[in-house]
Amino acid sequence: MSAVREHLDQGPITPLMMLVVALGFLLNLVDGIDVVAMSVTAPSLASDWNLERLALGPLFSAAIVGMALGASLLSPLADRFGRRILLISAMVLVGLSMLAVHPVSRGGEALTELMLLRFTAGLGIGVIFGSAPALAAEFMPDRYRSLAVSLVVMGYPVGAVLAGPIATSLLPNYGWSAVFVAGGALTLIIAVLAAWLLPESPEFIAAQPGNRSDRTKRVNQLLERLQRPPLANDLDADVPERPAIPLNRLLNRSLRLRTVSLWSVYFLGFLTMYFLLSWIPVLFVDSGYSQAQGIQALTGFNLGAVIGIVGIGTLSTRLPLARLLSAFFLLAGLCFGVITALMPRDLTVLMALIFVGGIFLHGGFTALYALAANVYPSELRASGIGWAAGLGRTGAIVSPVLAAVLVAAGWTMYGLFLIFALPLLIVAAWIWVFDGD
């Protein structure tokens, strides 16, 4: 354990630690709005541009491809250049890409341009997913690390919840592109706030190449703000410069099994999560419900995240994280399987099952980031989380397209819920065997 980590672990949670977690939460909150903006506007977009349902799959996947590449190829740069600068740059990229949707929408059926903008926004969102949890993990005492990472990632589903009311209020009078403009403006506002308030990780500073005295001074300044005693001695030695993307270190003998297991679990989790995030509103409309009811169902699914994430984060301070994850994914899979078994037409029952499923799926899915943060040391943490989230997102890329093909082949909402419940049951069993603690 490094001297910096020992200092951080020995003491209570402080206001600066809470500020870092709060800012990470806000970064992911606007990400949630930006990603779900495509889902909640899809029926209106399809009607406006006369798009077939099959065309929506690639449109949903464009942002997810960008997120996968951003998380796996760009997030590791945070281990080289710093979490702070990369996060702020990513926020600016996302905000500008969102704002640019409005002029493209005025051109009429500019599908390729819209897909390119969604891909570009996805690059920035992928960076935030990989770097924000790493930063939160490095500011918190070890006992509260999983809770802090869970709270940061919880911003995403909370943003996804807000996307529903934002869309409902803007769509009737301003059209679907206004949802993207609102999300982009909010993203840039949060970027300015982060540039003003967000500090760099003390563990990152300590692990950088350069003069030992200078690094020690910078670390001690942060430790003072964190209400921790300063380091008694200079940092041990100069640190050699690291490669930007140390994939070979993630796959060395000591980490290979855990790394590949994480990638597999993330893939299956993303497969189901992005089916639900992308297709719930459209499937509700195709099943005879209104677009507003479809948005309400998606909002309920994401609202369950608040309970699930806070619940698993709190429990993780007392119980083994891997066992909690396994239980949450098992219960989520059972909830969605029950929807297929009962095929409820009563809207209250259907939405209740989706809400409860959201509690367990979002709770378990979010805690995967805490699992990854626990697996990797500081110098590999952003890279490890980024590659797991990036390669795992291939599941998110496949999911909307697979669902589009199945919908075009005549599959109903109830059958699709069963298909996408199965990966969750596999994840539950896999994590029970793979102990990431």
Q: What is the pLDDT of residues 321-378, one digit of tens each?
A: 888 899 999 999 999 999 989 888 788 899 999 999 999 998 898 888 778 777 777 6
Distance CA 327, CA 428 (A): 7
Taking a C-beta distance cutoff of 8 angstroms, is the pair 294, 283 a contact?
Answer: yes
How buried is 435 (Cβ within 10 angstroms: 0-12 exposed, 13-18 middle, 19+ buried)? middle
Convert the pLDDT of each residue in 246-287 to its tens digit: 567 777 777 788 888 888 888 998 899 888 887 888 888 888
For residues 345 and 293, what is the distance between their CA atoms, to the nearest angstrom? 13
pLDDT of residue 1: 45
Task: Look at residue 399 in the predicted model and tell me its pLDDT.
Answer: 84
Angle between helices 53-69 and 394-408 (to 10 degrees): 170
Identify the burial level of 221 via C-beta atoms within 10 angstroms of its C-beta, where 0-12 means exposed, 13-18 middle and 19 or more buried: middle
pLDDT digits (tens, 9 = 90+) for 142-160: 878 878 888 888 888 788 7
Tell me how crowded residue 345 is: count the other CB atoms within 10 A of its CB: 9
Does the domain at 3-433 match CATH 2.40.160.40? Answer given as no
Q: Are 436 and 262 in contact (CB under 8 A)?
A: yes
Across residues 158-166, what is the average pLDDT? 82
- Region 108-126: what's the mean pLDDT? 84
At residue 107, the pLDDT reads: 55
pLDDT given for residue 19 in this prediction: 92
Q: Who's near 159: CB < 8 A, 6+ residues apart?
A: 28, 29, 30, 31, 32, 33, 34, 36
d(CA 262, CA 269): 10
Yes or no: say if 400 and 279 are a contact pair by the CB < 8 Å rule.
yes
* Distance from C-alpha of 393 to C-alpha of 378, rounded to nearest angstrom: 23
The predicted-structure confidence for 71-90, as pLDDT tens digits, reads as follows: 777 877 877 788 889 999 99
Which residue ranges make up each domain of the chain? 3-433
Distance CA 399, CA 248 (A): 29
Q: Give the per-residue pLDDT at 352.
A: 93
What is the spatial distance between Cα 391 and Cα 397, in angstroms, rounded to a whole number? Answer: 10
pTM of the full predicted structure? Answer: 0.72
pLDDT given for residue 234 in this prediction: 61
Number of alpha carbons in the 13 Å side-chain half-sphere of residue 39: 33
Query: In the structure encoding, which two tokens stand for residue 243, read together?
Result: 């490669």
| pLDDT in the model for residue 149 | 83
Q: Could you give the percent of the chain with pLDDT greater than 90?
A: 19
Nearest Cα neighbor of 365 from 291, 437, 302 is 302
pLDDT of res. 247: 67
Question: Residue 257 CB: number of other CB atoms within 10 A?
Answer: 11
* Distance between CA atoms of residues 85 and 83, nearest Å: 6
Nearest alpha-carbon partner for 17 in 173, 97, 128, 135 = 135
- What radius of gyration, in Å, describes the C-alpha atoms of the chain? 21
Mean pLDDT, residues 130-152 taken together:
83
If one counts every other C-beta atom within 10 angstroms of the C-beta of residue 73, the result is 17
Phi-psi region of 51 (alpha: psi -120 to 50; beta: other; left: phi over 0): beta
The structure tokens listed for 402 are: 């697979």
Residues with Cβ within 8 Å of residue 216, at least 6 apart in sequence: 231, 233, 234, 235
Q: For position 436, what pLDDT does the model report?
A: 45
Q: What is the DSSP letter of 253?
A: T
